[in-house]
Amino acid sequence: MFTPYFLEQVDSTQDFIKTLDPKTPTVVMADSQTAGRGRQGRVWISPMNQGLWMSIAHPNLKNKDFKLTEFMTRVINVIPHQGQLGIKWPNDLYWNNQKIGGILIENIVTSGGEWNWAIAGIGINLNQEKFPDNLPNPISLFQVNGIKSDPVTAAKSLCASLSDFLQTALCNDQQKILEQYQQLLYGRGELCNFSRAGVSFQAIPLGITEQGELLLDRIEKPIQHGELEWKIKTD
């Protein structure tokens, strides 16, 4: 089980958990963050009690058998949804064409350059009634279903779901998880817009490989994380 830390306010739960230098499974949850971080250096707006802002540290997050696919599937399964919730590869949570959450995995490297530890940051918009205009396509669970959620309850369910999985880092039924992820894959079977190395193109996502790479109809080689930008329809 995780050792929990519940904070009222912190700069970023990612940074706080690193200061703990955890050697056992640890979770840090904050009611608000003043300097929340998203992927690719983006700011993650984290107002008080408006969402699930949490970081977890677990030795098996750096295990070679750790499966981001299963991790994502477990995260999505704790959000009440009826079909329109999906995973925009590799680790964004989408409601139709709008972003409801995301995962940030950060590696901690020792001064000797050795890969030491990994931390997963989870941000899910729960209760926001509106967002700053500069965010491209945000949405909260409240905007979807009209129900306010308690972030602590959501955090506890998520920890319970992730605990077993991280304990073994191996899933009992890889095939089932992969199928679930494929079902949840945002844009699957639809013509989508991408850009790679500055070149824009269209392609149809077909699914992911067992290694979690993205398969596109027009590109033979599976795509690795960070290799392309997936452009979103904003209608």
Query: Which residues contact ligand BTN (rule: CB under 6 A)?
Result: 12-14, 33, 36-39, 42, 44, 46, 53-55, 92, 102-104, 121-123
What is the distance between the alpha carbons of residues 197 and 223, in angstroms, rounded to a whole number?
A: 13
What is the distance between the alpha carbons of residues 183 and 188, in angstroms, rounded to a whole number?
A: 8
| Residue among 37 and 58 whose Cβ is closer to ligand BTN | 37
Q: How far is the CB of 174 from ligand BTN (least distance, A)?
A: 25
| Residue among 91 and 180 whose Cβ is closer to ligand BTN | 91
Hey, is 72 helix, strand or coil?
Answer: helix
Location of structure tokens 């030795």: 59
| Phi-psi domain of 126 (left: phi exceeds 0; alpha: psi -120 through 50; beta: other) | alpha
| Residue among 138 and 204 whose Cβ is closer to ligand BTN | 138
Residue 95, classified by CB atoms within 10 Å of its CB into exposed (0-12), middle (13-18) or buried (19+), is buried
H or E, element range at 31: strand 26-33
Q: How far is the CB of 107 from ligand BTN (least distance, A)?
A: 14
| Residue among 37 and 74 whose Cβ is closer to ligand BTN | 37
Q: At what angle do helices 68-77 and 174-184 cross, to 10 degrees?
A: 60
| Residue among 123 and 205 whose Cβ is closer to ligand BTN | 123
What is the distance between the alpha carbons of residues 54 and 7, in angstroms, rounded to a whole number?
A: 10
Q: How far is the CB of 116 from ligand BTN (least distance, A)?
A: 19
Q: How far is the CB of 120 from ligand BTN (least distance, A)?
A: 9
Q: Which residue's CB atom is positioned nearest to ligand BTN?
A: 102
What is the distance between the alpha carbons of residues 96 and 185, in angstroms, rounded to a whole number?
A: 11
| Residue among 113 and 132 whose Cβ is closer to ligand BTN | 132
Q: How far is the CB of 45 from ligand BTN (least distance, A)?
A: 10
What's the distance, Cα to Cα, between the start and end of the chain in Å?
Answer: 43
Q: How far is the CB of 147 from ligand BTN (least distance, A)?
A: 21
| Residue among 70 and 92 whose Cβ is closer to ligand BTN | 92
Q: How far is the CB of 94 from ligand BTN (least distance, A)?
A: 10
Burial 116-137 (b: 16+ CB within 10 A, else e): ebbbbbbbbbbbbeebeeeeee
